[in-house]
Structure 1
Amino acid sequence: MSFDVVITLSVVIAVFPLMAFTRIGPDIVLLGALILLLTLGVIDTGEALGGFSNSGLFTVAFLYVMVASIRETGGIDLIIRHVLGRPKTRGGALARLLLPVASLSAFLNNTPVVATYIPAVLGWSRRLNIPSHRLLMPLSFASILGGTVTLFGTSTNLVVHGLLTDRYPELAMGLFDIAWVGVPVAIVGLAYLMLLGHRLLPQRREAAQAFENPREFTIEMEVDPNGSLVDKTVEEAGLRHLQELFLVEIDRGGNVVSVVGPGERLKGGDRLVFAGTSTAAVELQQIRGLIPSRHGESSLEKDFKERRLVEAVVSDQCQFVGKRIRDGHFRTLYGAAVLAVCRGGERVAGNLGQVRLQPSDVLLLEARPPFIERHRQSRDFLLISQLNGSARPVHEKAWLAWSILVGVIALASFGVMSMMNAAMLGALLVLVTGCCTVSAAKRGMDTQVLLTIAASFGLGAALESSGAAGMLAGKALGFADDNPWLLLLGTYLLVALLTELVTNNAAAVIIFPIVMASAESLGVNPMPFVVAVMFAASSSFLTPIGYQTNLMVYGPGGYRFGDYLRVGGLLNLLVAAVALPLIPLFWPF
């Protein structure tokens, strides 16, 4: 075994646990691995940077811009308003929800689709008296299933197709070629979710229920007009560094001062709202100049144009994960005050400042109106949902954004131009027509995904050039006993397992050269294995961390880790049972 093979295998083996079990972003892990391989001379500069020029990567980037245009024009919101309606049964509700979501996800990145649907589904479920946890996990799974229908459906499909055309230009696929397998997979999967899947979910308390009664996590006091605190700043009054409480807003004569700063001067009759526990009220009662609030209605139940109540789902990439809210200076960084934290459907009790944030925690925040737009695309939050005073998107240009997307699909489908060229033209048109601003397009670019994809290409190139892919292919053929069916099954299982632990793009790109070397050694058509990698990389149903949309619904739905195993395990088996026999039928060995 050569030095290059040893180094490459060591780096690749180290990459997977680092991505799966640490908070280091997959883009940083893979870029670090790429730099190490380049420094040690395993790959040259051209191979290291090859991923940054791949057509699949650029197609994904341009599609992000078109998806941003549909989001900015309210195109998804417009569809939601027309299709949800008021079904009479739970089965009817699931059909109205899952079928359009799967259809949209066949052509749009499913992360913004699910992000737009979640707030609408939470309100819709309350109107229908259907527990939202019966709808949110099926929502995520339906978006994943829809992505298997076309090459546009997921970034993984486009990236794997880019690898395929680089290696075998003559085997380029059409936009709808994988629909021969994707449509049956989606039909079976959606039928399972509508008929059985949602019934396997136990009763759960959702985040919205944990935040229903503001008096459970807030304390209200008033400034005595004749007391000693009048005209003192918050800092001078000793209200800035309380042990178990945070001053989050001041209700002053029908107006609100939100996200209160230390220099704010108190006025007589000010109604002060503190976030914390009821047991901490003793601390406030000992402050001279404060008296208990005489108002019956909580200040948080009133609408003020100067402030918003927001639910935010913490991302696994959030810089505050593992830190205490007080130590991390959350209010200073985001301009928002944490009112409560919900984890696993239950509000986290105790001293709010001592709570250490975890991925998928749901935060109830009080913020100023610009917070939502400023942090909507932040890597720190998977989802930001406004609870009060929601403004409807302007839909005047929604039809234009949808028309451009349909035109791009038509151009790519009929072979008028390549998928990358069509996506590039579509991105240009949405910018020129004003469907999407340049700043919105930049925010819509998921740079972490793009860097992860580009760096993964470098690792794949290292496996290829070092000879490690060929060596592993020989081992794989030995296990498969030179049987293409067993090799296909092994490929599917390996990629499906890895995609639950790391990003689906990285799993697909790194495994791709090994699988191609195996197919070439066996002397069979590589296409069945290419399609198997696409479908296996999309089969992320077993864990909340396997796919971003799964993590997005995890907190709001109040789910447990085992809920994904219970519902997603059977769905994984169904998808494999449908896909594996069909793939060689349409792409023979």
Structure 2
Amino acid sequence: MSLDAWLSLTVVLAAFPLMAFSRLGPDIILLGAVIVLLTLGVIEPSQALGGFSSTGLFTVAFMYVLVASIRETGGIDLIIRYVLGRPRGESGALARLLLPVAALSGFLNNTPIVATYIPAVLSWSRRLRLPAQRLLMPLSFASILGGTITLFGTSTNLVVHGLLLERYPDLAMGLFDIAWVGVPVAVVGLLYLMLVGPRLLPARRDVGTAFDNPREYTIEMEVDPAGPLVNRTVEEAGLRHLRELFLVEIERDGNVVSVVGPGERLKGGDRLVFAGTSDGAVELQQIRGLVPSRHGESSLEKDFKERRLVEAVVSDQCQFVGQRIRDGHFRTLYGAAVLAVCRGGERVAGNLGQVRLQPADVLLLEARPPFIERHRQSRDFLLISQLNGQARPVHEKAPLAWSILLGVVALASFGVMSMMNAAMLGAALALITGCCSVGAAKRGLDTQVLLTIAASFGLGAALEASGAAAALSDLALGFAGGDPWLLLIGTYLLVALLTELVTNNAAAVITFPVVMASAESLGVSPMPFVVAVMFAASASFLTPIGYQTNLMVHGPGGYRFSDFLRVGGWLNVLTAAVALPLIPLIWPF
């Protein structure tokens, strides 16, 4: 190998232990590796920056905007309520999550599927009181396994099939031909994730929980008379098993239902009094059919998509001290609605509107962003801080947001336009139709994932341009000699290794001509080797940079590099043990 090839291999291999044991993020480490290779002259500036113009990078970015539109319209709650539900334990939760994801990934691009599920799983895990780390990595792996069921389950399958048709036009494959191997691989892989995976997955405490707000609020919401919760029972409305929330009482037409049973039917205009934390208040905002109680006149118009949840501590100089919230016209003066009150770290008994404010009371407010700047220095409040998340989704546009996402997937799946063009069109429609604001779109972009993807392309370019990837291919395939079985195993192992270092498409494209030439020299059918390349390129379980869905769950799940090695390593071995014996049975040498 040339000096550039050795330098490329050294830098790439050095990046892996750094990501495994360093506190630096993968984006910083990979960007540093690209800078080193650029400084050493191994790659040109155009190659180092090539990832920033990659269609894959922009596809993921536009998909984040589409997911933000689903979140802003409350569509995430639909997944939790009707697909994920409320399983009894972790095994049931994994089954409810992994089986639909794997099935969908066989027919739809797995990037939008994982992107849509991530925020839903994060919220769902909080409700179930399960660490998100126990669910997000299996989510990514299930989407990868499902993509091996059909020919268009992953872009890699389509790329390899296109290369096959260019070389052997008469060896075209059917849409479900690879299902003979893909289905057993997916079934065995899913069983591993559900039965063995939980023993290997991390169960670390979320970093954010160390700073959780322990205050308990009195939170009051009202049943929208035109909403879907009217005439539903408390159980049917999903208000029975809310995380960190307890339905204390219902005020209806001046009467109070103090002992609320699961069969109590809700009526339009009912005021529901909850005891719970600020996180619980955020969860209530996501439920379609609940609105903040109307105390006094309101200066807030219905367009609430830019509202935020804000905590404010009442000062002793506040003019509302000693007054009831209902009589004080709080909304009119401040342009903010009081959702909850906390006093001395505990909830205040009784109806929210009857609470008389006292100094040091903590108010949970629904307000527009200007409220914070306007009143941060106000003498009425001692402290103002914004909570994470939007106040209330625009539920009315949830069907439109879902329609846009499904339209994007359909356009890409049927070849009407590329995935990037479809995602770009969908993101533009989400912004134009108001399903997602520009601010929400910016907040929805995960810059760490995007930078990691871009840097990965730079490293891949270094391995290809320097000849390191080709040298590895020739070396590994040389060990096969004249045995087609050894060639098949060598092909699978080589591609599975390269797919962890470069993109799965690049790994397949680099090895395809070498593998085909080796098969021809042995005088055997190329088909088992073609299928082996497909499955090995999709076996991206060892590292977070092996596949873009792994990158997408890496940050939200708080995973370490070693977590992927521990869980994905055994999954790699298992899928290889299933695929390698089956491939020659379906496509003989």
Give the TM-score normalised by structure 2. Answer: 0.56
Structure 1 window deviating more from structure 2 (29-38 vs 483-492): it is: 483-492
Tell me if structure 1 keeps the 8 A contact 2:27–2:455: yes
Task: Tell me which residue corresponds to 2:414.
Answer: 414
Which amino acid counterpart does residue 539 of structure 2 have in structure 1? Answer: A
Per-residue CA distance 1:92-142 (angstroms, 9 max, x = gap):
5554344345456646252552342233234246xxxxxx36x96256414
The CA deviation at 1:34 is 3.2
- 1:12 and 2:12 are equivalent in the alignment: yes
| Cα distance in 2 between the residues matched to 1:176 and 1:62 | 29
Q: Which runs of 5+ in 1 are unaligned?
A: 126-131, 216-256, 271-295, 309-334, 336-366, 375-390
Task: Tell me which residue corresponds to 1:299.
Answer: 345
2:387 to 365, 371, 375: 371
Counterparts of 1:460-479 in structure 2, within 5 Å, are 460-479=460-479
The CA deviation at 1:564 is 8.9
| Cα distance in 1 between the residues matched to 2:36 and 2:50 | 16
| Cα distance in 1 between the residues matched to 2:534 and 2:56 | 15
Task: Tell me which residue corresponds to 1:424.
Answer: 424
RMSD after superposition: 5.3
| Cα distance in 1 between the residues matched to 2:421 and 2:165 | 16
| Cα distance in 1 between the residues matched to 2:389 and 2:443 | 10
The CA deviation at 1:299 is 0.7
- 1:141 and 2:138 are equivalent in the alignment: yes
Structure 1 window deviating more from structure 2 (201-210 vs 93-102): it is: 201-210
- 1:532 and 2:535 are equivalent in the alignment: yes
2:122 to 114, 118, 123: 118
CA 1:467–1:178: 2 relative to 1, 3 Å: same
Tell me if structure 1 keeps the 8 A contact 2:149–2:178: no
Tell me if structure 2 keeps the 8 A contact 1:49–1:458: yes
Task: Tell me which residue corresponds to 1:250.
Answer: none
CA 1:107–1:54: 2 relative to 1, 3 Å: closer
| Cα distance in 1 between the residues matched to 2:71 and 2:311 | 28
Tell me if structure 2 keeps the 8 A contact 1:528–1:588: no
The CA deviation at 1:472 is 1.9
| Cα distance in 1 between the residues matched to 2:154 and 2:402 | 22
| Cα distance in 1 between the residues matched to 2:70 and 2:481 | 49
CA 1:5–1:520: 2 relative to 1, 3 Å: farther
The CA deviation at 1:584 is 6.6
| Cα distance in 2 between the residues matched to 1:260 and 1:297 | 10
Tell me if structure 2 keeps the 8 A contact 1:401–1:430: yes
The CA deviation at 1:397 is 1.7
| Cα distance in 2 between the residues matched to 1:149 and 1:188 | 12
- 1:515 and 2:511 are equivalent in the alignment: yes
- Give the SS at the match of 1:306: strand
Tell me if structure 2 keeps the 8 A contact 1:73–1:396: yes
CA 1:213–1:23: 2 relative to 1, 3 Å: closer
The CA deviation at 1:562 is 8.8
- 1:42 and 2:42 are equivalent in the alignment: yes
| Cα distance in 1 between the residues matched to 2:37 and 2:209 | 50
Report percent identity of matched pairs: 53
| Cα distance in 2 between the residues matched to 1:33 and 1:89 | 43
CA 1:521–1:38: 2 relative to 1, 3 Å: farther
Task: Tell me which residue corresponds to 1:459.
Answer: 459
- Give the SS at the match of 1:108: helix
| Cα distance in 1 between the residues matched to 2:177 and 2:80 | 28
CA 1:498–1:74: 2 relative to 1, 3 Å: farther
Structure 1 window deviating more from structure 2 (471-480 vs 136-145): it is: 136-145
CA 1:564–1:520: 2 relative to 1, 3 Å: closer
Task: Tell me which residue corresponds to 2:441.
Answer: 441
- 1:26 and 2:22 are equivalent in the alignment: no
Task: Tell me which residue corresponds to 1:225.
Answer: none
Per-residue CA distance 1:41-65 (angstroms, 9 max, x = gap):
4334444444344433333333232
Tell me if structure 2 keeps the 8 A contact 1:110–1:143: yes
